[in-house]
Structure 1
């Protein structure tokens, strides 16, 4: 609003009967003209008209600062009120001194006016002496006493400008307070409250006494109390109180003060008309206050509400509105804050778009510092660079694109030169530290420490960011200690981090994280010096962090992870068990259903193996096998569990409660990505010359399509959040229905044992704490300790398989698994002999951790001479599952439509960028003859046509290239003719949703369709086999690694012959694969004389063994794994020469990885084979 318009709106509120001509005159008037307009109004003779006169001159004073007009307001207001009092006093008694003291009071105010005009101290002193004389004439209990106290206090205040004696302010404030708490006319009280606020403000600037801020808030509260409800002045006075309280919160840090800020500013926004000029500014302040409360208390409802308020306010203001820039800053900061909490890529991309909308934006000058800038402009421009620098750093953490980090540092350095702001320096320190971690330039680490020290030194003791800056500085000292080994840095880290904890209120959302950092440093120092004091201090830090009521689940889980790894022996089994159980209960909160899958993966990858650790700790604490199994079922396969819940069979519910079933489907469709649209959350056109390139530069950085473009579902984030809440509420309601009491709840012991009837289930739990087999049978659940199995060995053997180029590596792994895992389990189950009647028993294997990447079904001593039954293949059939609940889910799914009788057969002998597969077509021809009764269908090799064919088939057989992506498992795919450009990735298959017409078998005759190579996600089972199961396939045949092209034909032939001969039943799939694998194994051992000679243990030539136990020891040394350390203890283990999980591999293009896959294969993978290959090993069956 223009100044003239604002002036008219205020005048119109004061004078309700102003004529249009007069309004036009006021609109165009200058300050001088406005003063002349006021002076043209003579002092009223009839004091019934005095109110308009007083308010007019008060307005002119407020607008121009002219004390002449406040003098006139005070004089008339006083005379007006005294006339009223005179009438009362005339009835009671005569006051002989009234006229004289009134005359002196008027003279004092005239002298004050002279002082204001001349600046002479003499005029002020004369005014004070005159008013003091008048004050002595007021009887002690007289009604005038309060007014004269206020007048005298008003005069004492200006004397401070000459004496600089705070006592003058103290005396003035005391007198005016005595006046305002007495009975005063509203007009006089309002004037004195304004003067009182000004004096408190002046005194606070001198003394920084928080009491002045508290009294300023009290003054604002009194002004509100004096304002009737419904008054047009009430919203603005509420806002002013909110500002005073907000300032007070900056100093006292009280949650109660912050609550009051939110309460009064909310009232201001809600009581102001929607078109009120300042309503948008108030909403901006409210959003920021809610964001602060989230930081303090960690309640996501506050943060979500804050973001919604900022978004709604932005939608209501035009592009040129003065408040728009501030709202954009606020919204960007709040979204970034939420990203820091949840790490949802959708928020990160949204924050980038918000930044681009901030005017003025010039992508060519964000690094350069414009000259001739006003302080306000410099602050705004520095804020832009700060926000953008933070977001670029955050995206670097996700994408590892070093260009983002370099630009972040450039922006923050520029911002630090524009204004002296501690948060900019601290943020710069964080970015420099991360670049040091990436590049190893010690200058970056040194500069990070230097700027972080400056950040701490320039932060006031009362500043709410002091704890943040101290925490950052402490972590930098810890990092330098890790580099140099200098104990002084570790000592300084402890000292600074302890100060940071002391500066952080316990209710702060980051309290647990800061305690975690301190506890970690103390624990490390204890390991070096053995100090009992450090040990107890560290344990205390972890106890407080883990029991924090305000911190987010990820921070608490991090504290649990560090405590249980660092102080496992010192904490004891009961405490370790308690902490890890809490972590499992928090795990699902770190990866809620409403998250996009990339965000779920990002969250879960931080805590690999924590479910296995919790189960092992439970066994150590004597809690029993069932309890340990419950923890495993809850903490593994979290993402799969979300899909299973959303896609559960609803046939019974639809029959008994169709309305509730309809509600379930409605909410499920908002949460299940397969049921949502593909609208982009960022729909603007991409321009590389602007910040849009930040939101779309995905390919070069190795970011998934969803993450790099901000692609999202057609359902907004807020809708998904609400949908999940409603989903859980609905499930509770469904459980109230008889027969549905266990709806979507974890299985009971009875249900778990029922799942093991008739075939037992062996869950192999791998943890650095201990390793066990949890054996579930139809009548009991028990555990079998496996002392020969360790987490480090399972990890080392996975690496052995990935690197191996000679069969002896595979032989070593198979024999180790037999001795440490398979034989003890089979003997415990009573499977000690080879069946003689072809009635083969079956075992369901559920391996955890890195063991899930190894072929338990192929474990054994296959090349003994003479032959024995020392192999799993010679005693039982094997099937796999991700979890028991996944097994139960698959069995419960029932097709609601008449099943198809088609066999969809896809053979891809030629693929762009890949070696040809000549046997793929031969495989297809054989299957056509074996599956003739099923009406084979051979589609055109187009992605959409293959997906369409999957919706109407009983069997889906794919023969071609498969790709497992270690950097992003969602990119794992089946390749068609055009290669990656036309591939069938995990999302494509999983989201087909075939449950209503569930197909029977997916046979993936391709490489690595069951591999999970992504570090930190091995227990999530995100691979092509899992995708087919979630899509609705009852059974899936896949592979753990590369397979041989010619022998794929033999495996498929034997399996389909068994199906043809024995019928298409659940058991024949397992029987068929077992027969195929065993047949090929027997052929390899029995008919190949070279193999029998070369692999007879007594005749092995050690010179031909490329990887043996000595080599394994070298692997362990290179991995830097200690005896009792889990390979998942570090979030980023680097292994030179291994593509999976290495930094080099994560930055490679997909095509480069495919070529690398050929190099890492066993011999030549599906590109050809020799008789020495263990080509029968990698095939696995997942099903029911």
Structure 2
């Protein structure tokens, strides 16, 4: 909000003092009754006001007010200068009010400015400025009283001032900015959405009319940023808060560091970063918010009227920081800052209720951490008093009621008084009633009511009715048209779980899970970075399996399959969807950009993506383009050489869903003897033990998982051991089962020994689509692209030596080249990341014998290490590998995922599939140097021996699954069945078609 100023621009203070002294001398020398005396008093008042603007010394503004009052008293009402004298008096009274907060000053200012306006003729050229000054004085009074009549008057006056101001007038941008901030102030009071729209429109026009380099531009950018942040808090549109932060940062960049407005700009930026943190939870936002609000407080002079608001803003940021980091010092400092803010806030001040509410929230948060009873008592008292001081109809009332309810819940947890929950329900119902339709917070208030009724249900209070009420409110929260997808997902999950646990056969159970699964994709949307998406998914890992278990209980294997495809491998699917159907889209931005620019770029690209999808889906025949697939489309392109087995592991039950070519519906196979507890047992391969742990795990997988599935499919043990005669099978495990070696399940000791290897050739797939997409699009590789590229990197900097890779690659190359295969070998310093990528485009298959490292938080930064740098997965994904066939990753742990997001394929093997390779050989954990050589050599011997195009130079990885099966069996023949020996060959796995 721009202030009422009497002197614009930078002025030499010594000259102002000289002018003031001269005017004082002139007044003293003017005889009483002299007609010039009133004007000289008025000029003296203006000079004292100018001096005050430079010094901030209260005596200067007191002298200004006194001089202007004398000028007014010395002339009759009809004096031609009376309007000007009244205007100057009103301006000086407003200025003094801003310094002292004396309510009588602003009331008198409004009165005298009204008189000043009334004395002007309608066509007087001063009318726009007088209207604007009167409006701003009303605005100062509104800031104190929050009376709607005052803010309504402000807007009416400023609208008149803007209308009367010529388009080319230099004062127009400032008046538009003042009008915009006044609309925003009324929006904060009433919650009328039209007001914040008008605020943004007026302020944006003010910015457009303000020339670059103008001294008022930073303030206008800050005002626009604040208005966008206010709209974000109502509608939750991330583009608003992103633009807001960008504008606030720009306003700071344009302002000299020693300018007195800097603390205000810093406070605005900190508040907006804090607001965005409340939606996104990004640590960088709250860290920056604390820093800039600290700076704002430090730069604010003691006694300044804005000190309370800045202390309060600092307290809010520290409270959010505590919620994110758990640092007790943050919440202690937050409470201290907010208490200081309250001590500096006079009784009757409009911000008092908000500051009480904020203090109550911090006490509540500390109580949740420490359990100290006095904290929850302080929180309750602050929230109750905040509500008592809030006028009826105030837009913040629902929020304050919600906070009071939260305190009642917390007090109930401590004392066990059920009356607290009953009162909380009543308070929350009132909050919901007062919340406008479409408000961004509606979902959270409905969700809170669901929690409250659930508490009553849990304590046996009218259990049937309160269970139904809880479910109804959770369902309503999840279905809200506005609000954070993350929070709505929480409500949807709560609704689905309550139904599943209490009414598992209810017809509402599956629709509730359907809503939750749909919200999962929105929770990890394209507007977030890859790391941000994976962070979000950690909290909901396993939801798709839980939904699928509910569907299986109701004999809906088709629905279970749809949800497992829709709710798992979300980021992997996004990468595929962004690349596969839109081959002509390429990432063009390579310059280094700031984190804020990156966030805005993600948001803008996500909006463009949504708009493009809407346009494509409006085209006949493309109505379901990239929509979650239904069962009939999922099973449309199944491989003919064997089934895909989706295995769902949940706390309540375990099931297998078999998909076979030629069958119209999935085959549901229950696994009653397997459990999530068994899947969570010590994993084979984590450590080599002497107690036959591996043998026990493999037998458990055989008895409880693999054998029941093979029996259900009618697959018998092969009468001969030839790999060529075995059928194929694709394992698609979920949850913790993803970390266990299903391909090696079996009994390895005794007369009844048998294993999966005796029945089928195994492959893995992150999800069903990874296989069906390859079946649908399979075709021959052009002769010019077919071939094998090999590299060994035995001693890359920063890694341990693996000298065996040289022998491995040389042996494979000699065999391939000697039999006519088009092959190329580059080793060590001969190859850098860039050259490797060129060879991946040139050759259909690649063999990488090197070290690799995985980054679960940023999978696109997983990499292969070379002597001359490293090749990141993100770089590979950008390449156009449309003829890619086989990738053999002869490195450790290239198919190891992350248990925190077990349903997300965050490993290099899945990444190479996403990059375009049809099939990938990888390892589940560490491998020995010598076994790696033997498996790789035997693998390629098998493929080359089964070539059908000798002499053509082509290399085809179609038989890679059979080749790996053969190679691991060859290795196994030279080993016993001890845990150590099993861990030698089990790690090698095949992914893809």
Tell me which interval the TM-score lies in, with the shorter structure as reference length: 0.7 to 0.9
Segments of 5+ residues of structure 1 without an aligned counterpart are: 12-23, 46-51, 82-109, 117-159, 362-369, 397-401, 437-441, 652-660, 671-675, 682-709, 1092-1162, 1164-1168
Q: Tell whether 2:603 aligns with 1:724.
A: no
Q: Tell whether 2:393 aligns with 1:510.
A: no
How far 1:1011 sits from its partner (Å)?
1.7
Matched residue, 2:762: 878
Matched residue, 1:419: 341
How do 1:1059-1070 residues align onto structure 2 when only pairs under 5 Å count? 1059-1063=943-947, 1064-1070=955-961
Matched residue, 1:1129: none
What is the rounded CA distance, in whole Å, between the counterparts of 1:969 and 1:8 in structure 2?
55
Q: 1:791 to 1:728 in 2, by over 3 A?
A: farther
Q: 1:632 to 1:74 in 2, by over 3 A?
A: farther
How far 1:604 sits from its partner (Å)?
1.8
Range with bigger deviation, 842-851 or 1022-1031: 1022-1031
Give yes or no for contact 2:120–2:127 (8 Å, CA) kept in 1: no
What is the rounded CA distance, in whole Å, between the counterparts of 1:728 and 1:526 in structure 2?
41
How far 1:639 sits from its partner (Å)?
1.3
What is the rounded CA distance, in whole Å, between the counterparts of 1:861 and 1:1033 in structure 2?
34
Range with bigger deviation, 56-65 or 928-937: 56-65
Once the two structures are superposed, residues 963-1004 of structure 1 have per-residue CA deviations (whole angstroms, 9 ceiling, x without a partner) of: 667777677666789xxxx99686467557361563622233
2:827 to 908, 918, 938: 938
Report SS of the residue matched to 2:925.
coil
Report SS of the residue matched to 1:76.
coil
How far 1:881 sits from its partner (Å)?
0.9
Matched residue, 1:634: 566
Once the two structures are superposed, residues 113-162 of structure 1 have per-residue CA deviations (whole angstroms, 9 ceiling, x without a partner) of: 9x99xxxxxxxxxxxxxxxxxxxxxxxxxxxxxxxxxxxxxxxxxxx989
1:382 to 311, 322, 342: 311
Report SS of the residue matched to 2:248.
helix
Matched residue, 1:30: 20
Matched residue, 1:1018: 902
Q: Tell whether 2:941 aligns with 1:1057.
A: yes
Report SS of the residue matched to 1:419.
helix
Q: Tell whether 2:647 aligns with 1:764.
A: yes
Matched residue, 1:7: 7
Matched residue, 1:565: 497
What is the rounded CA distance, in whole Å, between the counterparts of 2:193 and 2:444 in structure 1?
20
How far 1:278 sits from its partner (Å)?
4.2
Matched residue, 1:906: 792
Q: Tell whether 2:261 aligns with 1:323.
A: yes
Matched residue, 1:587: 520
Matched residue, 1:598: 531
How far 1:601 sits from its partner (Å)?
0.8
What is the rounded CA distance, in whole Å, between the counterparts of 2:811 and 2:500 in structure 1?
57
How far 1:637 sits from its partner (Å)?
1.4
Q: Tell whether 2:733 aligns with 1:847.
A: yes
1:545 to 473, 477, 487: 477
Q: 1:821 to 1:295 in 2, by over 3 A?
A: same
Give yes or no for contact 1:626–1:782 (8 Å, CA) kept in 2: yes
Matched residue, 1:834: 718
Matched residue, 1:76: 78
How far 1:863 sits from its partner (Å)?
3.4
Give yes or no for contact 1:1041–1:1178 (8 Å, CA) kept in 2: yes
What TM-score, normalized to structure 2? 0.77
Q: 1:726 to 1:207 in 2, by over 3 A?
A: closer
What TM-score, normalized to structure 1? 0.65
How do 1:991-1002 residues align onto structure 2 when only pairs under 5 Å count? 991=877, 993=879, 995=881, 998=884, 1000-1002=886-888
What is the rounded CA distance, in whole Å, between the counterparts of 1:930 and 1:286 in structure 2?
69
How far 1:29 sits from its partner (Å)?
3.7
Once the two structures are superposed, residues 168-187 of structure 1 have per-residue CA deviations (whole angstroms, 9 ceiling, x without a partner) of: 999x99xx99x989997879
What is the rounded CA distance, in whole Å, between the counterparts of 2:872 and 2:420 in structure 1?
47
2:743 to 843, 857, 861: 857
Once the two structures are superposed, residues 310-358 of structure 1 have per-residue CA deviations (whole angstroms, 9 ceiling, x without a partner) of: 2443344343444333223222322332233234566567657766876
How far 1:822 sits from its partner (Å)?
2.6
Give yes or no for contact 2:364–2:375 (8 Å, CA) kept in 1: yes
Q: 1:938 to 1:721 in 2, by over 3 A?
A: same
Q: Tell whether 2:972 aligns with 1:1180.
A: no
Report SS of the residue matched to 2:731.
strand
Range with bigger deviation, 810-819 or 895-904: 895-904
- From the CA coordinates, give the structure whose radius of gyration is larger: 1
Q: 1:190 to 1:530 in 2, by over 3 A?
A: same
What is the rounded CA distance, in whole Å, between the counterparts of 1:988 and 1:228 in structure 2?
55
What is the rounded CA distance, in whole Å, between the counterparts of 1:35 and 1:884 in structure 2?
92
Matched residue, 1:577: 510
What is the rounded CA distance, in whole Å, between the counterparts of 1:563 and 1:236 in structure 2?
51
How far 1:609 sits from its partner (Å)?
1.9
How do 1:363-762 residues align onto structure 2 when only pairs under 5 Å count? 373-376=302-305, 378-379=307-308, 382=311, 385-386=314-315, 389=318, 392-393=321-322, 396=325, 405-409=327-331, 411-420=333-342, 421-422=355-356, 425-426=359-360, 428-429=362-363, 432=366, 436=369, 442=370, 446=373, 449=376, 452-453=379-380, 455-457=382-384, 459=386, 460-462=389-391, 505=436, 507-529=438-460, 531-532=462-463, 533-570=465-502, 573-618=506-551, 624-648=556-580, 661=584, 664-665=585-586, 668-670=587-589, 676-677=590-591, 679=592, 681=594, 716-730=598-612, 744=626, 749-750=632-633, 752-762=635-645
Report SS of the residue matched to 2:526.
coil
How do 1:773-1172 residues align onto structure 2 when only pairs under 5 Å count? 773-779=656-662, 780-788=664-672, 792-793=676-677, 795-797=679-681, 802=686, 805-806=689-690, 808-834=692-718, 836=720, 838-867=724-753, 871-889=755-773, 892=777, 898-899=784-785, 901-906=787-792, 908=794, 927=812, 930-933=815-818, 934-940=823-829, 944=833, 951=840, 956-957=846-847, 987=873, 990-991=876-877, 993=879, 995=881, 998=884, 1000-1006=886-892, 1008-1015=893-900, 1017-1043=901-927, 1046-1063=930-947, 1064-1079=955-970, 1169=980, 1171=981
Q: 1:750 to 1:523 in 2, by over 3 A?
A: closer
Segments of 5+ residues of structure 2 without an aligned counterpart are: 51-63, 91-102, 343-354, 948-954
What is the rounded CA distance, in whole Å, between the counterparts of 2:364 and 2:427 in structure 1?
16
What is the rounded CA distance, in whole Å, between the counterparts of 2:633 and 2:305 in structure 1?
69
Matched residue, 2:271: 333
Q: 1:926 to 1:494 in 2, by over 3 A?
A: farther
Q: 1:314 to 1:530 in 2, by over 3 A?
A: same
How far 1:414 sits from its partner (Å)?
4.4
What is the rounded CA distance, in whole Å, between the counterparts of 2:430 and 2:682 in structure 1?
44
What is the rounded CA distance, in whole Å, between the counterparts of 1:922 and 1:205 in structure 2?
80
Range with bigger deviation, 297-306 or 789-798: 789-798
Matched residue, 1:673: none
What is the rounded CA distance, in whole Å, between the counterparts of 1:765 and 1:734 in structure 2?
34
How far 1:1182 sits from its partner (Å)?
0.5
- Computed over aligned residues only, the root mean square deviation of the Cα atoms, in angstroms, reads 5.5
